Amino acid sequence: MTWGKRRALVIILVIVALVVVVIVASQPARVPSNSVLLLEISGEINEQRAVDFFSAIGGEFIPVQHDFIDALDTAKSDPHIEALVVKIGPLETGWAKLEEIHSHLLAFRASGKPSVCYLGGDGIGNLEYYIASACDKIWLVPTAPVSIHGMMAQAVFLRGMFDKLKIYPDYYHIAEYKTASNQLTEKKFTPAHREEVDSLLHGIYNQYLTEVSKARNMDRAEFEKLVNAGPLSADDALAGKLVDRLAYWDQVQDFAKEKTKDWNPVKLGRYRGRIKNDGSTRIAVVHATGLIVSGESGNAPGGGAIMGSETVAADLRRAREDSSIKAIVLRVDSGGGSAVASEVIRREVVLAKAVKPVVVSMSDVAASGGYWIAMSANKIVADPDTITASIGVLGGKFNVSGLYEMLGLSTDSIATSDNATIYSAQQNFTPAQQKLIQKSLQDVYTSFTKGVAEGRGMSVEAVDKIGKGRVWTGAQGKDLGLVDELGDLNRAVEVAKQLAKIPADERVRIVRFPEEKTFLQMWIEKRNDDDSARFSSIEAAVERLTGAGAYNTPQARVPFDLQIR
């Protein structure tokens, strides 16, 4: 057999294998009538499934937020599911997503079917216990501590490192609460920065105390006392009624057998084939996730999503132009990015709103640019713990001339005008250039506050008063008029149905944008990305490692990279 024939045979075999995979994957899931839905929740939970060619090759299923929600909503009335078992590992997900899962676990629990959360590993803290509290029973490995305790908000500041490297971060912002650049320019919280972080922290903490104590049928003050005494041993957690039993995995299985007469666990990847999405009326859910940039959406080199303005705008346009789609829900999970890219997306929201209702559903974060793209919608729905608003703007650059000098490097340049050097990484902004930067930022801030005022039916003065770059929780945002309702994605769909005059009891089919790509599509489209150009200079390396850079357009970004645990 010649080499050409062998190559043709290999290609044919690969195509046949792909067809078989597609056919098998399209078959409906077979679930026995006495099954247990087994949910494994750990790590980071994303809104959109990443386009990952290599995971697709291995057949790996990585659940996203709506997979958990849809499975719980289906299982509570599915006669094939007799019980629910939830295994929780260490979580790296925001509070709003967990709040949604928590509420749907409670809804499953209200169905009367037994639900058990099994805490069988390390890392049982506030986040993990919050999810567990929504189950009817919590079982804990006898040697596992329950590390619930008071919450802490922590931010990392890079200024000291830059000083050692002789790098000067020349950044400006509007207004005092727009503190995203503080990570680069400061060594600790400024008073305004501390004030807004303190407000966020206590807002989320109070929500946590209220929801967990209610789910566990405990007095809130009693639960807070236990939290303040934490971390707790397994025995102390049992004595304090934070858990119901100390047990092992085999005992969880025995419990399930008692309820279902057998141990038939069905994992999420298999069960999602039973989730129905067959309504005659269609509502679009357009996902807008990650750092907002001009261009196409994609995956960031270091992980995470990139929201491309052209991609999201095209998705909104397709949903608007499809007459079978009666309403649009824009699902936002973004701390912002380019003000220009944000405005491109907002424009499509305005155009869509003129044709059919547009409702925004806010996930973990919908702040700064994430709020910009939401502000013109008909209605905004947020979770109580969503981080939102941050109506402000920033811009600047790094001056790495000191680092160059320290390394023995030098540059030389010729410019046609004084402002030709405005974004040069070899000097600070001149006084004249500073005025230009400040004016540019002020112009964008004026547009931002005006847009919020028009979208929310407020005066510009009222918006400025609660703006100034400050972030708020979803609950605070509702009190301030920045959010219409508190609720999850399902509630946003209900609001969209109301606005589109769709009967409340009518099933709707959810059409998601962007459409998830099949393995075959990814195989055809796969191309190698040459990332070497990103490190073509010291400036580029610094920008990539810090997530910042010389922004030649103003940035509407969330004011800090903050962890609340």
| Cβ atoms of 543 and 391 closer than 8 Å | no
| Cβ atoms of 146 and 235 closer than 8 Å | no
Q: How many CB atoms lie within 10 A of CB 251?
A: 13
Strand 508-513 to 281-289 pairing: parallel
Distance CA 263, CA 406 (A): 66
302: tokens are 């270091």
Distance CA 478, CA 485 (A): 7
Q: How many CB atoms lie within 10 A of CB 133?
A: 24
Question: Which residue reads 């979803």 in tokens?
Answer: 474
Direct distance between the N- and C-terminal alpha carbons of the chain, in angstroms, rounded to an integer: 63
Distance CA 172, CA 180 (A): 10
Comparing C-alpha atoms, which of 225, 206, 505 is closest to residue 385?
A: 206
Distance CA 109, CA 245 (A): 18
Provide the phi-psi class of 219: left if phi over 0, else alpha when psi is between -120 and 50, else beta. beta
Distance CA 416, CA 394 (A): 27
Comparing C-alpha atoms, which of 341, 339, 378 is closest to residue 358?
A: 378
Distance CA 160, CA 380 (A): 40
Q: How many CB atoms lie within 10 A of CB 208?
A: 25
361: tokens are 């559903």
| Cβ atoms of 274 and 72 closer than 8 Å | no
Question: Which residue reads 């974004």 in tokens?
Answer: 423
Distance CA 390, CA 272 (A): 36
- In the set 213, 342, 368, 390, the catalytic residue is 368
Distance CA 80, CA 380 (A): 36
Distance CA 375, CA 336 (A): 13
Distance CA 534, CA 399 (A): 18
**What burial class does residue 538 get, using C-beta atoms within 10 Å of its C-beta: 0-12 exposed, 13-18 middle, 19+ buried?**
middle
How are strands ordered across the β-sheet holding 291-293? 168-174, 393-399, 555-557, 336-338, 291-293, 305-308, 298-299
> Would residue 413 show up in a list of annotated catalytic residues for this protein?
no
Distance CA 229, CA 253 (A): 32
Strand 245-246 to 137-140 pairing: parallel
Known catalytic residues are 368
